[in-house]
Chains A and B, each alone.
Chain A
Amino acid sequence: GAGVSQTPSNKVTEKGKYVELRCDPISGHTALYWYRQSLGQGPEFLIYFQGTGAADDSGLPNDRFFAVRPEGSVSTLKIQRTERGDSAVYLCASSFTLGETQYFGPGTRLLVL
């Protein structure tokens, strides 16, 4: 079956621009997670959803970052006024329900110039 998919695979933008990153979870998975991986580091938690609601957004670095999951399936991570420090790989994961194994997508590589 299809795994987690993320689009775009690569995104280059200029400082100050707005970007949206999309995640399609595995069909039937109710929990969805966003992580960010900087060079030489492990993935760092940003936010997770159970259904449509953000159950924990404690990992979002500041209010320029926002994520939605309006219908409980696809999720979009939105970054306003991008900064060079936002450059990283943004990973999405999904699980059948909370507490189950998380399966990751290939990530979106964001480069802010």
Chain B
Amino acid sequence: DQQVKQNSPSLSVQEGRISILNCDYTNSMFDYFLWYKKYPAEGPTFLISISSIKDKNEDGRFTVFLNKSAKHLSLHIVPSQPGDSAVYFCAASEIEKLTFGTGTRLTIIP
């Protein structure tokens, strides 16, 4: 029973365009959401987070949107750059532990 789902295993985007990564969750007790980026042979790197009391958080090229009624969040990257090519994990927090999705592999095409 997956509580956090990333339904797109992969996504390819032209350099300079917007990348949109999606995540759905089922547990309404989740109160904090995060996006991590992962390169091969490295641990996940924290990107951006959002509290359940907000619907948007922005940090430079990265914006996370949260729609609580739909139990959906998305990560927007604009403009996309070649260095953004990586696997992106959505994670949700209930109390302290994180529940992760299965990841989306983003490839930026030069």
The residues of A with any CB-CB pair to B shorter than 8 Å are 4, 31, 33, 35, 40-45, 48, 55-56, 59, 91, 93, 98-99, 101-107
- Which B residues, 52 to 110, have Cβ-Cβ distances below 8 Å to chain A? 89, 91, 95-103
> Do residues A99 and B100 form an inter-chain contact, with CB atoms below 8 A?
no
- Judge whether B22 is part of the interface by a CB distance below 8 angstroms: no
Contacts of B44 in A (CB 8 A): 43, 91, 104
B34 within 8 A of partner (CB): yes
State how many angstroms separate the Cβ of A58 from the closest Cβ of chain B: 8
Q: A35 to B100: give the CA distance in the assembly, Å.
A: 10
Query: Which residues of chain B from 32 to 50 have any CB-CB distance to chain A below 8 Å in the complex?
Result: 32, 34, 36, 41-46, 49
Q: In the complex, A33 Cα to B99 Cα: how many Å?
A: 12
Residues of B within 8 Å of A43, CB to CB, are: 44, 89, 98, 100
Q: Could you write out 27 A-B pairs with CB less than 8 Å apart?
A: A33-B97, A33-B98, A35-B100, A41-B102, A42-B4, A42-B91, A43-B100, A45-B97, A48-B97, A56-B96, A59-B97, A91-B43, A91-B44, A98-B96, A101-B34, A101-B46, A101-B49, A102-B46, A102-B98, A103-B46, A104-B43, A104-B45, A105-B43, A106-B41, A106-B42, A106-B43, A107-B42
| Known contacts A41-B102, A43-B89, A106-B41, A56 near B97 by CB under 8 Å | yes
CB neighbours (8 Å) of B41 from chain A are 106
Q: In angstroms, how far is the closest chain B Cβ from the Cβ of A99? A: 6
Measured CB to CB, the closest approach of chain A to B49, in angstroms, equals 6
**CA A40 – CA B101 in complex, angstroms?**
10
Return chain A residues, CB-CB under 8 Å to B99: 45
Q: A40-B102, A42-B4, A43-B44 are in contact. List 5 more A-B contacts (CB 8 A).
A: A42-B101, A45-B97, A93-B43, A98-B96, A106-B43
